[in-house]
Each structure stands twice: as structure tokens, then as C-alpha cells.
Structure 1
Amino acid sequence: MPPPPVSRPRSRDLGITVGELPTGRYNALTDVPGVRVGHTTLIRPPRVHSGVTAIVPDGVGPGSALPAGVFAGNGYGKLIGATQIAELGTLETPVLLTSTLSAFRAADALVGWVLQRPEGAEARSLNPVVGECNDGLLSDIRSRPVREEHVRAALDTASGGPVAEGCVGGGTGLTALGFKAGIGTSSRRLPLAGREITLGVLVQANFGGTLRVRGRTVTPADVGLPAEGPDPQAGSCMVVAATDAPLDARQLTRLARRCVYALARVGAAYGHGSGDYGLAFGTRPPGTPAGPAVVPDETLDPLFTAALDAVEESVLNALLTATTTTGPHGDTRHPLPARPLLALLE
């Protein structure tokens, strides 16, 4: 069993806020009604630091698909199910995030889980959606430690409320921008189409570049951390966004693009070996009684701003809430330390 999580401050706990829009109650993806998150974390130091994260929209299934859009900023990755989302504009399973070489086992486990549920009883085709990042620096990636029981545990324990961040689930063995990273999340509330809507974001952060906070570059040396060698892989980032705004698939694709663009705010390099993906889905199909069929495109700017802000804050949360990790080959990565960061910004 993994050790209990260490309580570390999030960005807002330090007074580092991004943008002017208010957050939801938990400042997390789960602030979007009907969206749950679960993690299975696998830690067997120093060999294994890995896991799987499940994002579970209520009611999603092969007969009750949700509108969705996907965007690849740089396609060096394995986003299983992406082509059908791009073609049909629908999401028909939960979304899993895991380690690169465990993605295929996770997809098979997700198919089995859905087929055994009532909503999958008549399914003869299914499009499982699994994103991945390479945790090979800090975990024995070749051992493919994520198994069916781990996937099912993440799906079955997915819940609303606060979301664990940092070294949990699919973020357990990840690094980003020179620091230990992992899972981060944030949300925004804003008026749209005559009512208040919520946008939630969750990132699986594992990408290269030089961190920027409030416009200032921040290297590990700037905050008193030891210099480490370059990561063997350029990294990746999966960004998943959910909203209860009544958007169609084309508009959700536009939203997914902004989620990838937002990584530039924190210093992403979008390197050759980086898989940078955005996936956005709506929690109910357009045309339901709760709202208009489609929000006019010219009113979407505040939602795009919300996405940029929430992704930036999610990455900061991933860096701040992670814990120091040493991998099987002696490589160590440290999280972004709060006090030295504040001193540098001052």
C-alpha cells in the first residue's frame, strides 16, 4: 500500500492566484456537476512509482455518449480512442490516465468494466479512452505495473469532492519543467448563455521547458534545489476539461485547443518527444432542457479565458503538491518548494 499522502499547499494557499474568475467549491474538476475522479497509486520504492487516474462522468456509456472534442498540440503519444472522438465528437467511456506502456492493459480493463455494467449490456462496439505519460525516469516502466484490478479500483472508487493531487494515480512517477510533478486540477465559474456554468480541468503533467510563475522563470537552482540531469524523454501532458456549458463537439474541440495552448503560460517547450493533448467533454448533450442547444461562438471568449487560467493553476498545483521521488536508477526529482518560491517572487 502507498504511504498516506503528504499535505502540501496548493497555489492559492500561497496567495498565487491565476486570473480573476472565481473557482468552484473544491477548485477541481469535480466542481463540474456529475464528474467524479478516482486514483489507484502504486508505490514500491525505488522500483515502481506509477498508477492510474479515472475521470468518470455520470451516465456515460455506449448508449449515452457525451459531446467531446480532442486536440493534439504535438502527437508523440498514445491517446487511445482519439480518432473516434475526432470523427464523431462523442465520448462513450470514462477517461483513464496512466503510464505509457500500461495504457494498453488499462484500455482492455476499461472495456471489460464497461461491458459488465448495465449501460454496456448490449454493446457490440466500444471506444475506450486512455491517455498516458512516460514515467520511465522514476519508475520501472517496462514492468507495466498497472493491472486490471488497479483500473477497476480507480473506476469504482471515483468520487466527487476534493481531488488528490501530486504523486497520485497516473501522476505518481511524473516530472515537469525540472521538478517532480503529477496530477493537478482547478476550476472556474463564469456566466455564459444567461446562467452560471462551471469549467473544470485536470492535468497529467510530465513535460519539458522552463517553469514560469507570474511571468518569471523559475529553475530548480533558483529555489535552492540540486541540479539534476536532463530527463531521458521530453515528456508529455494530458489535459482533460469538463463543463456543464451546452457546447457542441466543434466548440469543445476549440476548448481543447485552448487547454494545450495554456501550457505555454507555464513554460512548456512542446518538444519533439512530447505528447501534448487536450480533451474536452460536456456533461450533457446539447439540446437538453437545461439550456440552449448551442452557445453562440462569439460568446465563448470568457470560457476560453477560464480554460487558460485553470490549466495554468492546475500545473502549478501539480508541481507544488508532489513529493520528492527517487527512481530505480537513482534519479531524484523534487517538487516546487513553497517558501523559496514565494521569496523568489517577492
Structure 2
Amino acid sequence: MPLQKGSENCITDVSGVLVGHKTLYEKLNDDETICTGVTAILPHPRNLFYEKVRAGCHVINGYGKTSGLVQIEELGLIESPIMLTNTLSVGPVMEGTVTYMLKQNKEIGDAAGTLNVLVGECNDSYLSSMRLQAIKPAHAIEAIENAKGRSAEQGAVGAGKGMVCFGYKGGIGTASRIVTSADEKYTVGCLVLSNFGKSDDALFTSFPKKKKNPNNTDGSIIMIIATDAPLYDRQLKRMAKRTAAGLGRTGSHFDNGSGDIAIAFSTANTYPHNANAHLHTIAALRDDNQAMNQLFQAVVEATEEAIINSLKYAETTIGQRGRTIEKAPL
């Protein structure tokens, strides 16, 4: 039986989670168009460096240029906003996020050690003149400062402005599900940056098949999972793995050149940067608790719908060289 949707059907249904966008769209001349942006996901509105959240990640197919995943694998913690952008802009977005965090935390790089910033990307070069490197560090800061807790804008916005999915306009999509177990209720939210699939791969029967696929690469997707369930990093990695089932439901088969990457975090059991005690104790769900199966189901359902919503809410977009990507017939 399908699970109940959250009130906004959005990753922000997980209390405290914020989403912000900075969209760049400008036709420079007949050949060049800037059609790109940055999206920021904040696990909570407080100081992320001093109140880290537990996290896990999973690489389904590794054709991606992310930053920060190595430390998630090692320590199971997130200590910065999660940033999304285009392939050639990981550097400036990381720089901007570092600048934002340094301003917020005077001790970073000195008394408090260094910082691990998370940046994920997809290739928007079919629509956007990506070689112009229009994204600057200040745009990352704007995306963070634009972050709100209400229902997130979807479609061709932020990092999703120039993305293509199944030959139609893709981008940012989000969805959520509610899990009820005994007297406890948990929320699972998903936000995706969709940029994958050929039109003849899509399982949506309403999609007309295109004679020419505009994607000249295999495409990619970044999937962010948030939950308020009390899970720790190993369990969150298990959650991240389940995004593959939701992605597969839409018709993806994880092509050779595809970057299919998932990050999952929990807003429960935050981890303080500074603590005097040498032991840290948390309460976490048992793996054999019935709620775990429902949490896995929630990830699959929310991932699938978030991808569909990235298509549903996007609009027909004209990019560089007059290239036009149509809105999906949803």
C-alpha cells in the first residue's frame, strides 16, 4: 500500500530542512545563453558546523564530479549546506560555500580545524553555455541565503535550470512520505536534480517518443534524502541505496557515463562539534524494527515522485544556439 504524502509533498516536510535557489538565465547573443544555477539544501537552520547531522551516501554509478563524499564515507557526518550546480561549477560553488561558512564560524581553519563542503553536479551543457563558467562563488552564497522552510520551488530553477530528463525539461523535483510505526511518526523527503535518460527509456506511456535524443551524454542525477527518523550513518547509507529502486521505476538503467549519486541525512541525533565527554550516546532505530521497511519504501516512493515532479513543474526552455527543450507531457 502506498504511503501517505507529507503536507507539502516536499523535502521541507522534514522539520528544519531548508531549500534555496539561485537561477541564472540570460541570452548573450545568437550562440551563447547562460541557463544554469545553484541549489542549496540546509539540513537545519542553525550552525551546521557546530551541529552536524548524521549522513550516509551511495554511488550507484560514479561518473560524477562531487566534493565531500569521501568524508561522509569516513565519518558519517554533514557539516555544511548540500550544494547542487553544473559540472564545471563545483569549484566556485565550493569556494562560495566555504566563504559563507568561514564568515559564520571564525574558528574554522584555526582552532576548530577544517571544513567538509558537499557539492553535487549534473551536466547542463546542452542548454547552457557551460564553458563561460558563469557561476561565481557569490551565487552559492545567494542560494544559501535564499533557503526557506516552505514548499520548495521545482522544475527549471536553481541547479535545475538547464537540465534535461528523458529528452524533456528536467531539473529540481521533490516529494515526501510519512511513516507510522507504533506510536511514532517519521517523515522522509527527497529532492532530486534530474538530468538523465533518453526519451525511449521512459516508462511513462504518455510520453511521445522523440526521433532525436538531445542528450549527447548518458546523463546524471543527484538524489538527496532527508528524514527525522533517529538513524545513524550505516542505516542512512542503507536509505541512500534505496534511491536506486525509485530511480529504476522511472526507466533509468544507470548508463556507463551516468553519475547517479545519493546522499541521506537525519535531523535527529545531531552531533556537537565540541563536547567535553569522551563518550557520545544516541538512540537509534533497530534494523529489525518494522519502521525500517517503511522507511525504505518511503525512499523509493519519494524518489520516484520527485523525479516525476522535476518534469511536471519544469517549463519549456530555450538555451544556447536556439536549442529548445519542451515541457514533458504530464
TM-score scaled by structure 1? 0.85
Aligned with 2:60 (options 73, 79, 99)? 73
Segment of structure 1 superposing worse, 135-144 or 55-64: 55-64
| Distance of 1:157 and 1:124 partners within structure 2 | 27
| Distance of 1:287 and 1:79 partners within structure 2 | 24
- Pair 1:53 & 2:35 matched: no
- Pair 1:284 & 2:276 matched: no
Counterpart in the other structure of 1:341: none
1:284 to partner: Cα distance? 2.6
SS of the residue 1:261 aligns to: helix
1:286 to partner: Cα distance? 6.7
- Pair 1:297 & 2:284 matched: no
Pick closer, same or farther for the CA change 1:84–1:287 going to 2, 3 Å: closer
- Pair 1:63 & 2:50 matched: yes
- Pair 1:239 & 2:239 matched: no
Q: Contact conserved, 1:37 with 1:53, CA < 8 A, in 2? A: yes
Counterpart in the other structure of 1:329: 321
| Distance of 1:26 and 1:120 partners within structure 2 | 37
1:120 to partner: Cα distance? 5.6
Counterpart in the other structure of 2:162: 173
| Distance of 2:53 and 2:158 partners within structure 1 | 24
- Pair 1:202 & 2:191 matched: yes
The runs of 5 or more residues in structure 1 that have no matched partner are 1-18, 339-346
Aligned residues: 311
Q: Contact conserved, 1:260 with 1:277, CA < 8 A, in 2? A: no
Q: Deviations over 1:275-302 (max 9, x none)?
A: 00010001132799xx971111123110
Q: Contact conserved, 1:198 with 1:245, CA < 8 A, in 2? A: yes
Counterpart in the other structure of 2:114: 125
Pick closer, same or farther for the CA change 1:120–1:247 going to 2, 3 Å: farther
1:330 to partner: Cα distance? 3.3
Q: What is the letter of the counterpart of residue 319 of structure 1? A: L
Q: CA RMSD in A?
A: 2.0
| Distance of 2:226 and 2:207 partners within structure 1 | 31
Counterpart in the other structure of 2:23: 41
Aligned with 1:257 (options 220, 236, 241)? 241
Q: What is the letter of the counterpart of residue 83 of structure 1? A: V
Segment of structure 1 superposing worse, 84-93 or 323-332: 323-332
Q: Contact conserved, 1:115 with 1:123, CA < 8 A, in 2? A: no
| Distance of 1:269 and 1:332 partners within structure 2 | 25
Q: What is the letter of the counterpart of residue 138 of structure 1? A: L
| Distance of 1:241 and 1:161 partners within structure 2 | 17
SS of the residue 1:162 aligns to: coil
Q: What is the letter of the counterpart of residue 232 of structure 1? A: N
Pick closer, same or farther for the CA change 1:31–1:156 going to 2, 3 Å: same
- Give identity over the alignment, percent: 39
1:158 to partner: Cα distance? 0.3
Q: Contact conserved, 2:56 with 2:73, CA < 8 A, in 1? A: yes
Counterpart in the other structure of 2:208: 220
| Distance of 2:253 and 2:322 partners within structure 1 | 25
| Distance of 2:167 and 2:232 partners within structure 1 | 37
Counterpart in the other structure of 1:109: 96
Counterpart in the other structure of 1:320: 312
TM-score scaled by structure 2? 0.89
Pick closer, same or farther for the CA change 1:187–1:120 going to 2, 3 Å: farther
Q: Contact conserved, 2:37 with 2:158, CA < 8 A, in 1? A: yes
SS of the residue 2:140 aligns to: helix
Counterpart in the other structure of 2:255: 271
